[in-house]
Amino acid sequence: MEVKSTKELHSELAMHSVRFAKDEQGRRKGQDVLFKWPEIEKKLGEHKHIYVVDARLGSNNHTHRLWYDVIPPHTEEGQEWRTLGHRHTVEAIIYFLKGHGHSIIDGERYDWGPGDLLSVPMFSWHRHINDGDEPVLRIASTTGPLSLALGQAVYEDERYPEFWIYAQEGEDARKTLIPGGGGKIDNAKIAGSRTAEMYAEQVAFAMHEEQLRRKSKVLVKQKDLVFEPTAMGNLAYVVDPRIGCHSKALGVVMAEIPPGKRSGAHRHLYDEIDLIVSGKGKVIVEDKEFDFDTLDVLSIPVFQWHQYFNTGSEPLRILGINTRLAMDNLGLSLTHQGEKADYV
């Protein structure tokens, strides 16, 4: 084996950082954009849980992933979940396409049907139950890759207590939405200095965070979406802190384009995955075109111009799931608007 000198090794490490952005542009250009429903459906017949956009399967997406799954009639996701379900330190949304059922999230019951969306508060126990005679078809998207890269991904599952980190420590550890437990909000308070105040705020952070998670909006019903004109076309924000969701990484919008019309064009420095909820059309991504249909999935490369066209006779609805909020919080977001939609 070739042994590198200290100088060679450390020069290479420095150049890795210098080269990264240029290399990443190439990876973005080469990434898969379109995932067709018929192929996903075939795989779902063999296994009820199919990852679609996922860096572990070659997607160039560093922050979130998307999968499809099916819950058979009168069963529960995970089959053996009966009490706690699971919880995780990743943000998650679930969008229901077919079937009816309910979820138990942090002890509360939420009933859902097609077109409804759940935004699961971080580290809350949750279970999903199909109450009907039809299979439930749904997609889920999480910030798993982001939390894993940060070394802060905890998944505790009722079925696998041998992998629990905190839940085995008792009732308090199972009730809290803070991994490791909340503790007392005024434990660090001492009087007399601004620095002591600042430190006490730091200690209280997680407890405030837990309160905000518990106040966050969980269920968004399809009928409550409010579409309004924007430069990109008719949009409804579905998951966003400005409409009552305590989300810091994952955001969701629904876009609607009438037959024969086109959206605006834009590009942005965050990952986006789109689910085609209804209708058909095409998307231009930089210099390439992709034709899509209902239930197809698109993975939009970071900072590539994209614009959507409704080529069918029905309204086109696209659920856009992005990690804009994570990038906002890191100070890395940038959105450029190009041509405006032709129908607003």
Q: Which residues make up the interface to Fe ion (CB under 5 A)? A: 272
Looking at the Cβ atoms of 61 and 204, the one nearer to Fe ion is 61
Q: What is the distance between the alpha carbons of residues 88 and 139, in angstroms, rounded to a whole number?
A: 17
Q: Do residues 292 and 276 touch, judged by C-beta distance below 8 A?
A: yes
From residue 127, give the alpha-carbon distance in Å to each of 53, 68, 210, 320, 321.
Answer: 23, 17, 20, 24, 22
Tell me the sheet residues that pair with 322: 251, 272
Q: Do residues 116 and 26 touch, judged by C-beta distance below 8 A?
A: no
CB of 278 to Fe ion, least distance (A): 19
Secondary structure class of 99 (helix, strand, coil): coil
Looking at the Cβ atoms of 115 and 301, the one nearer to Fe ion is 301
Looking at the Cβ atoms of 54 and 197, the one nearer to Fe ion is 54
Looking at the Cβ atoms of 69 and 272, the one nearer to Fe ion is 272
Q: Do residues 311 and 281 touch, judged by C-beta distance below 8 A?
A: yes
CB of 253 to Fe ion, least distance (A): 9
**Contacts with 152 (C-beta within 8 Å, 6 or more apart), sequence order:** 89
CB of 113 to Fe ion, least distance (A): 19
CB of 63 to Fe ion, least distance (A): 14
Looking at the Cβ atoms of 158 and 272, the one nearer to Fe ion is 272
Q: Do residues 323 and 146 touch, judged by C-beta distance below 8 A?
A: yes
CB of 332 to Fe ion, least distance (A): 15
Closest residue to Fe ion, based on beta-carbon distance: 272
